[in-house]
Amino acid sequence: MDRKTTPVYRNYCDLAGIKTADFHGWELPLHFSQGISAEHTAVRTAAGLFDVSHMGEIFIEGEQAEWYLDQLITGSVLSMKSGEVKYTFLCYPDGNVADDIIVYKCSDTRFLLVVNAGNREKDYSWITRDNPVAQSQSSLPVIKDQSDAWAQLALQGPKSEQLLTELIPEVRDIGYFTFRDDLFYDEIPLLVSRTGYTGEDGFEIYLNAEDGGTFWDLLVQAGAQPCGLGARDTLRLEAKFPLYGHEISESITPLEANLSVFTDLEKSYFIGKEALARQKEQGIPRTLRGIEMIEPGVPREGCRVFSGENQLGTVTSGTKSPTLNKFIALVLIERGSGLKIGDELEIEIHRKRKRARLVKTPFYKKTGRS
Protein backbone atom coordinates (compact mmCIF):
# COMPACT_ATOMS: atom_id res chain seq x y z
CA MET A 1 0.00 0.00 0.00
CA ASP A 2 1.31 3.46 -0.91
CA ARG A 3 2.24 5.76 1.92
CA LYS A 4 0.34 8.99 2.39
CA THR A 5 2.09 12.32 1.96
CA THR A 6 1.30 15.72 3.44
CA PRO A 7 0.32 18.75 1.34
CA VAL A 8 3.77 20.18 2.12
CA TYR A 9 5.72 17.07 1.12
CA ARG A 10 6.29 18.16 -2.48
CA ASN A 11 8.09 21.30 -1.25
CA TYR A 12 10.98 19.33 0.24
CA CYS A 13 10.85 15.73 -1.04
CA ASP A 14 13.43 16.27 -3.78
CA LEU A 15 16.00 18.06 -1.62
CA ALA A 16 19.48 16.54 -1.69
CA GLY A 17 20.36 14.57 1.44
CA ILE A 18 16.81 14.12 2.72
CA LYS A 19 15.93 10.76 4.28
CA THR A 20 12.29 9.82 4.71
CA ALA A 21 10.63 7.13 6.78
CA ASP A 22 7.27 5.42 7.22
CA PHE A 23 5.41 6.89 10.20
CA HIS A 24 2.00 5.27 10.71
CA GLY A 25 1.55 5.02 6.94
CA TRP A 26 2.88 8.52 6.20
CA GLU A 27 6.03 9.26 4.21
CA LEU A 28 7.72 11.86 6.44
CA PRO A 29 11.24 13.28 6.64
CA LEU A 30 13.47 11.55 9.17
CA HIS A 31 16.12 14.20 8.61
CA PHE A 32 17.35 16.65 5.99
CA SER A 33 20.89 17.03 4.63
CA GLN A 34 22.45 18.41 7.83
CA GLY A 35 21.34 15.43 9.93
CA ILE A 36 19.48 14.91 13.18
CA SER A 37 22.08 16.42 15.50
CA ALA A 38 22.34 19.67 13.51
CA GLU A 39 18.56 19.97 13.31
CA HIS A 40 18.27 19.35 17.05
CA THR A 41 20.84 22.07 17.73
CA ALA A 42 19.03 24.48 15.41
CA VAL A 43 15.89 24.16 17.54
CA ARG A 44 17.81 24.60 20.78
CA THR A 45 19.69 27.69 19.52
CA ALA A 46 17.70 29.28 16.67
CA ALA A 47 14.54 28.13 14.85
CA GLY A 48 13.59 24.74 13.42
CA LEU A 49 10.62 23.99 11.16
CA PHE A 50 8.63 20.74 11.19
CA ASP A 51 5.97 19.59 8.76
CA VAL A 52 3.39 18.03 11.10
CA SER A 53 0.50 18.09 8.64
CA HIS A 54 -0.04 14.37 9.27
CA MET A 55 -1.66 15.21 12.61
CA GLY A 56 -5.45 14.97 12.74
CA GLU A 57 -7.90 17.86 13.20
CA ILE A 58 -11.37 17.02 14.50
CA PHE A 59 -13.96 19.72 15.18
CA ILE A 60 -16.82 19.46 17.67
CA GLU A 61 -19.56 22.06 17.26
CA GLY A 62 -23.01 22.80 18.66
CA GLU A 63 -24.85 23.72 21.82
CA GLN A 64 -23.84 20.42 23.46
CA ALA A 65 -20.20 20.60 22.37
CA GLU A 66 -18.74 21.88 25.64
CA TRP A 67 -20.69 19.48 27.86
CA TYR A 68 -20.03 16.49 25.62
CA LEU A 69 -16.28 17.05 25.22
CA ASP A 70 -15.91 17.52 28.97
CA GLN A 71 -17.22 13.97 29.46
CA LEU A 72 -14.57 12.52 27.15
CA ILE A 73 -11.34 14.10 28.42
CA THR A 74 -9.41 13.99 31.69
CA GLY A 75 -9.01 17.77 31.85
CA SER A 76 -11.73 20.37 32.23
CA VAL A 77 -13.14 22.14 29.19
CA LEU A 78 -15.51 24.13 31.41
CA SER A 79 -12.59 26.00 32.98
CA MET A 80 -11.19 27.06 29.59
CA LYS A 81 -11.64 30.48 28.03
CA SER A 82 -12.03 31.01 24.30
CA GLY A 83 -8.55 31.24 22.76
CA GLU A 84 -6.99 28.83 25.27
CA VAL A 85 -5.31 25.50 24.55
CA LYS A 86 -5.25 22.40 26.78
CA TYR A 87 -3.22 19.20 26.73
CA THR A 88 -5.34 16.27 27.91
CA PHE A 89 -6.23 12.60 27.43
CA LEU A 90 -8.98 10.51 25.93
CA CYS A 91 -9.21 7.53 28.27
CA TYR A 92 -11.01 4.23 28.11
CA PRO A 93 -13.25 3.12 31.01
CA ASP A 94 -10.30 1.10 32.38
CA GLY A 95 -8.21 4.30 32.70
CA ASN A 96 -5.77 3.47 29.93
CA VAL A 97 -5.14 6.04 27.22
CA ALA A 98 -6.87 6.07 23.85
CA ASP A 99 -4.84 9.13 22.86
CA ASP A 100 -3.24 12.29 24.16
CA ILE A 101 -4.72 15.30 22.41
CA ILE A 102 -4.62 19.09 22.24
CA VAL A 103 -7.92 20.93 22.69
CA TYR A 104 -8.46 24.41 21.22
CA LYS A 105 -11.48 26.31 22.56
CA CYS A 106 -12.70 28.49 19.69
CA SER A 107 -15.94 29.32 21.54
CA ASP A 108 -18.39 27.70 23.95
CA THR A 109 -19.90 25.89 20.98
CA ARG A 110 -16.83 25.09 18.86
CA PHE A 111 -13.69 23.12 19.69
CA LEU A 112 -10.74 21.86 17.69
CA LEU A 113 -9.13 18.58 18.76
CA VAL A 114 -5.65 17.84 17.43
CA VAL A 115 -5.00 14.10 17.56
CA ASN A 116 -2.09 11.82 16.75
CA ALA A 117 -1.89 10.68 13.13
CA GLY A 118 -1.77 6.99 13.97
CA ASN A 119 -4.89 7.31 16.13
CA ARG A 120 -6.98 9.53 13.87
CA GLU A 121 -9.51 6.94 12.68
CA LYS A 122 -9.68 5.24 16.08
CA ASP A 123 -10.18 8.59 17.84
CA TYR A 124 -12.91 9.69 15.46
CA SER A 125 -14.79 6.42 16.00
CA TRP A 126 -14.36 6.70 19.77
CA ILE A 127 -15.51 10.32 19.89
CA THR A 128 -18.50 9.83 17.60
CA ARG A 129 -19.95 6.46 18.59
CA ASP A 130 -17.78 3.99 20.52
CA ASN A 131 -17.57 5.72 23.89
CA PRO A 132 -20.19 5.08 26.61
CA VAL A 133 -21.42 8.70 26.72
CA ALA A 134 -22.19 8.70 22.99
CA GLN A 135 -24.03 5.41 23.34
CA SER A 136 -26.25 6.86 26.07
CA GLN A 137 -27.29 9.98 24.13
CA SER A 138 -30.08 10.38 21.60
CA SER A 139 -28.22 13.24 19.87
CA LEU A 140 -24.67 14.52 19.74
CA PRO A 141 -22.92 17.71 18.67
CA VAL A 142 -21.71 17.94 15.09
CA ILE A 143 -18.34 16.13 14.89
CA LYS A 144 -16.24 16.43 11.73
CA ASP A 145 -12.84 15.03 10.84
CA GLN A 146 -11.34 17.83 8.74
CA SER A 147 -7.74 16.58 8.80
CA ASP A 148 -7.35 16.40 5.03
CA ALA A 149 -8.29 20.06 4.65
CA TRP A 150 -5.47 21.32 6.88
CA ALA A 151 -1.71 21.72 6.84
CA GLN A 152 0.17 22.20 10.10
CA LEU A 153 3.68 23.57 10.54
CA ALA A 154 5.58 23.72 13.84
CA LEU A 155 8.17 26.48 14.23
CA GLN A 156 10.28 25.86 17.33
CA GLY A 157 13.26 27.52 18.98
CA PRO A 158 14.37 30.70 20.77
CA LYS A 159 14.36 32.71 17.55
CA SER A 160 10.96 31.50 16.38
CA GLU A 161 9.08 34.56 17.64
CA GLN A 162 11.49 36.96 15.94
CA LEU A 163 11.27 35.03 12.68
CA LEU A 164 7.50 34.64 12.66
CA THR A 165 6.71 38.23 13.67
CA GLU A 166 8.49 39.44 10.53
CA LEU A 167 5.67 37.72 8.62
CA ILE A 168 2.81 38.06 11.13
CA PRO A 169 3.48 40.82 13.72
CA GLU A 170 0.45 39.86 15.85
CA VAL A 171 1.95 36.53 16.97
CA ARG A 172 4.18 38.26 19.54
CA ASP A 173 1.03 38.81 21.62
CA ILE A 174 0.05 35.12 21.66
CA GLY A 175 0.67 33.74 25.15
CA TYR A 176 1.80 30.26 26.08
CA PHE A 177 -0.95 27.68 25.44
CA THR A 178 -3.18 30.23 23.72
CA PHE A 179 -4.03 30.81 20.06
CA ARG A 180 -5.53 33.18 17.53
CA ASP A 181 -7.69 32.04 14.64
CA ASP A 182 -8.23 35.44 13.00
CA LEU A 183 -4.77 36.01 11.49
CA PHE A 184 -3.73 36.41 7.85
CA TYR A 185 -0.59 36.49 5.79
CA ASP A 186 -1.57 38.40 2.68
CA GLU A 187 -4.83 36.58 1.89
CA ILE A 188 -3.89 33.29 3.59
CA PRO A 189 -6.01 32.67 6.72
CA LEU A 190 -4.10 31.26 9.69
CA LEU A 191 -4.69 29.76 13.12
CA VAL A 192 -1.54 30.21 15.20
CA SER A 193 -0.93 28.73 18.66
CA ARG A 194 2.01 28.74 21.05
CA THR A 195 2.57 25.35 22.66
CA GLY A 196 5.40 23.12 21.41
CA TYR A 197 6.81 19.63 21.70
CA THR A 198 10.51 20.40 22.04
CA GLY A 199 11.05 22.23 25.34
CA GLU A 200 11.60 25.51 23.50
CA ASP A 201 9.38 28.46 22.71
CA GLY A 202 7.49 27.92 19.50
CA PHE A 203 4.38 28.13 17.38
CA GLU A 204 1.98 25.89 15.48
CA ILE A 205 0.61 27.33 12.25
CA TYR A 206 -2.61 25.80 10.90
CA LEU A 207 -3.73 26.75 7.41
CA ASN A 208 -5.58 25.43 4.39
CA ALA A 209 -3.85 22.42 2.88
CA GLU A 210 -3.30 24.21 -0.44
CA ASP A 211 -1.44 27.05 1.34
CA GLY A 212 0.85 24.83 3.42
CA GLY A 213 3.68 24.60 0.90
CA THR A 214 3.69 28.35 0.29
CA PHE A 215 4.08 29.11 3.98
CA TRP A 216 6.73 26.41 4.41
CA ASP A 217 8.83 28.10 1.74
CA LEU A 218 8.32 31.52 3.34
CA LEU A 219 9.56 30.28 6.72
CA VAL A 220 12.58 28.52 5.21
CA GLN A 221 13.47 31.66 3.25
CA ALA A 222 13.17 33.63 6.48
CA GLY A 223 15.81 31.42 8.10
CA ALA A 224 14.01 28.42 9.66
CA GLN A 225 15.94 25.13 9.53
CA PRO A 226 13.85 22.24 8.10
CA CYS A 227 13.74 19.41 10.64
CA GLY A 228 12.52 15.83 10.59
CA LEU A 229 11.14 13.15 12.88
CA GLY A 230 14.56 12.26 14.26
CA ALA A 231 15.16 15.66 15.85
CA ARG A 232 11.54 15.89 16.95
CA ASP A 233 12.02 12.69 18.94
CA THR A 234 15.34 13.63 20.56
CA LEU A 235 14.00 17.08 21.47
CA ARG A 236 10.78 15.80 23.04
CA LEU A 237 12.65 13.09 24.94
CA GLU A 238 15.11 15.58 26.46
CA ALA A 239 12.09 17.61 27.60
CA LYS A 240 10.28 14.46 28.86
CA PHE A 241 7.27 14.91 26.63
CA PRO A 242 5.39 11.61 26.21
CA LEU A 243 4.94 9.87 22.89
CA TYR A 244 1.78 7.84 22.42
CA GLY A 245 2.54 4.13 22.23
CA HIS A 246 5.62 4.59 24.38
CA GLU A 247 5.07 6.54 27.63
CA ILE A 248 1.26 6.36 27.41
CA SER A 249 -0.82 3.77 25.62
CA GLU A 250 -3.77 1.41 25.76
CA SER A 251 -1.92 -0.38 28.56
CA ILE A 252 -0.39 2.60 30.44
CA THR A 253 -2.48 5.07 32.43
CA PRO A 254 -1.70 8.78 32.85
CA LEU A 255 -1.05 8.18 36.56
CA GLU A 256 1.58 5.53 35.80
CA ALA A 257 3.21 7.95 33.35
CA ASN A 258 3.42 10.62 36.10
CA LEU A 259 0.94 12.81 34.19
CA SER A 260 -1.64 13.20 36.95
CA VAL A 261 -1.41 17.00 36.58
CA PHE A 262 -3.40 16.56 33.35
CA THR A 263 -5.94 14.26 35.02
CA ASP A 264 -8.58 16.13 37.02
CA LEU A 265 -9.98 13.59 39.46
CA GLU A 266 -12.00 16.42 41.05
CA LYS A 267 -14.25 16.55 37.99
CA SER A 268 -17.69 15.10 38.56
CA TYR A 269 -17.22 12.69 35.65
CA PHE A 270 -15.05 11.71 32.73
CA ILE A 271 -14.62 8.37 31.03
CA GLY A 272 -12.01 6.44 33.00
CA LYS A 273 -12.30 8.50 36.19
CA GLU A 274 -13.57 5.64 38.33
CA ALA A 275 -10.70 3.36 37.28
CA LEU A 276 -8.07 6.05 37.76
CA ALA A 277 -9.42 7.06 41.17
CA ARG A 278 -9.35 3.41 42.20
CA GLN A 279 -5.77 3.02 40.94
CA LYS A 280 -4.70 6.06 42.94
CA GLU A 281 -6.44 4.79 46.08
CA GLN A 282 -5.05 1.26 45.81
CA GLY A 283 -1.55 2.40 44.90
CA ILE A 284 -0.17 3.23 41.45
CA PRO A 285 1.90 0.15 40.53
CA ARG A 286 4.36 1.71 38.08
CA THR A 287 6.18 5.00 37.61
CA LEU A 288 7.94 6.71 34.71
CA ARG A 289 11.50 7.70 35.58
CA GLY A 290 14.56 9.03 33.79
CA ILE A 291 17.92 7.31 33.50
CA GLU A 292 21.30 8.11 31.99
CA MET A 293 23.78 5.46 31.03
CA ILE A 294 27.01 5.07 32.99
CA GLU A 295 28.31 2.55 30.48
CA PRO A 296 27.85 3.53 26.81
CA GLY A 297 24.92 2.06 24.93
CA VAL A 298 21.64 3.16 23.40
CA PRO A 299 18.71 2.07 25.59
CA ARG A 300 15.91 1.35 23.13
CA GLU A 301 12.21 0.80 23.70
CA GLY A 302 11.57 -2.59 25.28
CA CYS A 303 15.02 -3.02 26.84
CA ARG A 304 14.60 -4.61 30.25
CA VAL A 305 15.50 -2.74 33.45
CA PHE A 306 17.08 -4.61 36.38
CA SER A 307 18.06 -3.98 39.95
CA GLY A 308 20.22 -6.94 40.87
CA GLU A 309 18.32 -9.99 39.62
CA ASN A 310 14.94 -8.28 39.84
CA GLN A 311 13.42 -7.03 36.61
CA LEU A 312 11.77 -3.72 37.47
CA GLY A 313 10.30 -2.80 34.08
CA THR A 314 11.29 -1.69 30.60
CA VAL A 315 12.56 1.27 28.62
CA THR A 316 9.80 3.27 26.91
CA SER A 317 12.06 5.62 24.87
CA GLY A 318 15.80 6.14 24.64
CA THR A 319 18.39 8.02 22.61
CA LYS A 320 21.73 9.77 22.70
CA SER A 321 20.99 13.32 23.78
CA PRO A 322 22.62 15.83 21.39
CA THR A 323 22.34 18.59 24.00
CA LEU A 324 23.82 16.63 26.91
CA ASN A 325 26.04 14.28 24.90
CA LYS A 326 24.77 11.39 27.05
CA PHE A 327 22.70 8.26 26.48
CA ILE A 328 19.34 8.83 28.16
CA ALA A 329 16.03 7.03 28.47
CA LEU A 330 12.63 6.98 30.10
CA VAL A 331 11.81 3.76 31.95
CA LEU A 332 8.52 2.43 33.29
CA ILE A 333 9.40 0.60 36.50
CA GLU A 334 7.78 -0.73 39.66
CA ARG A 335 6.85 2.10 42.00
CA GLY A 336 7.82 0.16 45.12
CA SER A 337 11.41 -0.46 44.04
CA GLY A 338 12.80 1.89 46.68
CA LEU A 339 15.24 3.44 44.19
CA LYS A 340 15.99 7.15 44.43
CA ILE A 341 17.77 9.73 42.29
CA GLY A 342 21.40 8.75 41.83
CA ASP A 343 20.88 5.04 42.49
CA GLU A 344 22.25 2.59 39.97
CA LEU A 345 20.38 -0.01 37.96
CA GLU A 346 21.07 -1.99 34.80
CA ILE A 347 19.66 -1.83 31.28
CA GLU A 348 19.79 -4.96 29.14
CA ILE A 349 21.08 -3.89 25.72
CA HIS A 350 21.75 -6.58 23.11
CA ARG A 351 21.57 -9.23 25.88
CA LYS A 352 24.24 -7.47 27.94
CA ARG A 353 23.44 -5.56 31.11
CA LYS A 354 24.92 -2.09 31.26
CA ARG A 355 25.06 0.25 34.24
CA ALA A 356 22.83 3.29 34.44
CA ARG A 357 21.60 5.67 37.12
CA LEU A 358 18.29 7.32 37.93
CA VAL A 359 18.31 11.07 37.24
CA LYS A 360 15.93 13.98 37.60
CA THR A 361 13.68 14.81 34.69
CA PRO A 362 13.19 16.58 32.42
CA PHE A 363 16.70 15.94 31.18
CA TYR A 364 16.69 19.42 29.61
CA LYS A 365 14.68 22.41 30.77
CA LYS A 366 14.81 25.83 29.22
CA THR A 367 14.54 28.75 31.60
CA GLY A 368 11.87 31.34 30.89
CA ARG A 369 8.91 30.90 28.55
CA SER A 370 7.87 27.30 27.82
Q: How confident is the model at residue 367 (pLDDT cuts 50, 70, 90)?
A: low
Domain that holds residue 217: 9-52+148-238
Residues 232 and 293 in one domain: no
Domain boundary among 223, 238, 253: 238
Domain annotation covers residue 250:
no
Percent of the chain predicted with pLDDT > 90: 97
For residue 1, is pLDDT > 80? no
pLDDT tens across 160-178, in order?
999 999 999 999 999 999 9
Q: Per the domain annotation, does 268 fall within a domain? A: no
Is 70 exceeded by the pLDDT of residue 221?
A: yes
Order of strands, sheet of 179-185, starting from the edge strand that comes earlier in the sequence: 179-185, 188-193, 202-208, 150-156, 48-51, 225-227
- For residue 25, is pLDDT > 50? yes
Once rounded to an integer, what is the mean pLDDT over residues 36-48?
98
Q: Contact at 8 Å (CB) between 109 and 63?
A: yes
- Report the percent of the chain where pLDDT is more than 70: 99
Based on the domain organization, do 231 and 157 belong to the same domain? yes
Tell me whether residue 33 is in a domain: yes
In 3D space, the residue among 181, 232, 225 whose CA is nearest the CA of residue 206 turns out to be 181
The reported pLDDT for the residue numbered 42 is 98
CATH number for the domain spanning 314: value is 2.40.30.110
Query: Is there a domain that residue 350 lies in?
Result: yes
Residues 230 and 156 in one domain: yes
pTM, 2 dp = 0.96
Average pLDDT of the chain to the nearest whole number: 97
pLDDT for 37 equals 98
Task: Note the pLDDT of residue 370.
Answer: 40
The distance in angstroms from the start CA to the end CA of the chain is: 40
CATH of the domain at 207: 3.30.1360.120
Query: Where a domain ends, among 238, 271, 305?
Result: 238
